[in-house]
Amino acid sequence: MSTVAIIVAAGRGSRAGGLIPKQWQSLAGRPVLAHTLAAFAGMAVVLVIHPDDRDRAEAMAPKARLVMGGATRAQSVRNALEALEGSGVTRVLIHDGARPLVSGALIARMLAALGDHAAAAPALAVSDALWLGEAGLVAGTRDRAGLYRAQTPQAFRFDAILAAHRAHPGAALDDVEVARAAGLDVAIVEGDEDNRKLTFAGDFDRAEAILRARAMDIRIGNGFDVHAFCEGDHVWLCGVRLAHPRGLLGHSDADVGMHALTDAIYGALAAGDIGRHFPPSDPQWKGAASHVFLAHAAGLARERGYKLANCDVTLVCERPKIGPHAIEMANVLASILGVDADRVSVKATTSERLGFTGREEGIAALATCALVKA
């Protein structure tokens, strides 16, 4: 079974404003039509264009088959259908080039509908009250029951829609009108609220907001670390040196809190852990200050386009007491991470004298961080 997407982009509509047709205007840094074509990636595409746009279309869609549009939308679609005759295509999706937010899920629903129907179209039930207007005043109301807002892509078995277009006498609002005029039953498939047609200038702002929301990438990571006590007279915790009757054993300075946070960031990036980046077998890291590790993790996040939304470190120990130093620790971590201190939390708890921390054999730390694509 062969499927082709027909993208209709020959219009010269002016209601969107601008110096060029809306399908060629910029949306989130790319032409509207580039977003539309991307939604059908992997499918054979016939792109229906205005003759003036051939150079643009060839540069943007070198693999698409280009067909020149007609004086009406119906004629443009028929030109595409006639160009496909004899090619072995069995199904077509006919889509407006100015609907750049169509989802893969909607496309899949349309193709599935053709398993039981010769024609199908996406739509959303009208939920708002409907008025008639006259001279700027409400002149009446209409019942919204059974009314739908039509969308594309509209899906058809090829032979049926080609015959319908050949029999149609002239212009039509869309291909559903053509299909129904030929006696085809058109199944209604659930549409998508985001699948907006760009018509007015304000539609571009709404579309950009939707694209930004789709592009949001939030990563969550967690880290856990443990260091045993050893001989010494101080410990490093979250970058702060605290006097203590014992030290912490480790290849570096054994800052258990900073190690847990570093691993949380690496985890959010799916980039392993400290040991991958700073192997304990490498003597150059013996006794290293842990801010080196944390700064590296934070820098890697920035290189990959992420910023730290927030992080939270919990130290588990009986002693030393963390509360008097928690704000200072948060400030130190924030400085290393390059973020405001209100994005960093440091707190502590005991294990109620249970386990190795309760027996004061060592300190454990847990950390969580959230990274957001900048």
pLDDT tens, residue by residue, 115-168: 999 999 999 999 999 999 999 999 999 999 999 999 999 999 999 999 999 999
CATH assignment of 3-215?
A: 3.90.550.10
Fold of 218-373: 60s Ribosomal Protein L30; Chain: A; (3.30.1330)
Could you give the percent of the chain with pLDDT greater than 90?
Answer: 90
Judge residue 191's burial from the number of C-beta atoms within 10 Å of its C-beta, 0-12 exposed, 13-18 middle, 19 or more buried: buried
CA distance 242 to 60: 62
Q: Where exactly are the structural domains of the chain? A: 3-215, 218-373
Nearest residue to 149 via CA among 111, 197, 87, 217: 197
Q: Containing H/E element for 283?
A: none
- DSSP states of 2-55: -EEEEEEE-----TT-SSS-GGGSEETTEEHHHHHHHHTTTSEEEEEE-GGGHH
pLDDT tens, residue by residue, 265-318: 999 999 999 999 999 888 888 888 999 999 999 999 999 989 999 999 999 999
CA distance 319 to 242: 11
**Pairing status of strand 234-237 against strand 154-157:** unpaired
Nearest residue to 195 via CA among 109, 131, 119, 73: 109
Predicted pLDDT of residue 142: 93
Q: Is the dihedral of CA 87, 90, 94, 100 positive or negative?
A: negative
The tokens of 131 are what?
Answer: 């008025």
* pTM of the full structure: 0.67
Predicted pLDDT of residue 170: 84
Instruction: Quickly state the pLDDT bin for 251 (edges 50, 70, 90).
Output: confident
pLDDT tens, residue by residue, 23-43: 999 999 999 999 999 999 999
Average pLDDT over residues 10-23: 83
- pLDDT of 210 above 80: yes
Three-state DSSP class for residue 250: coil
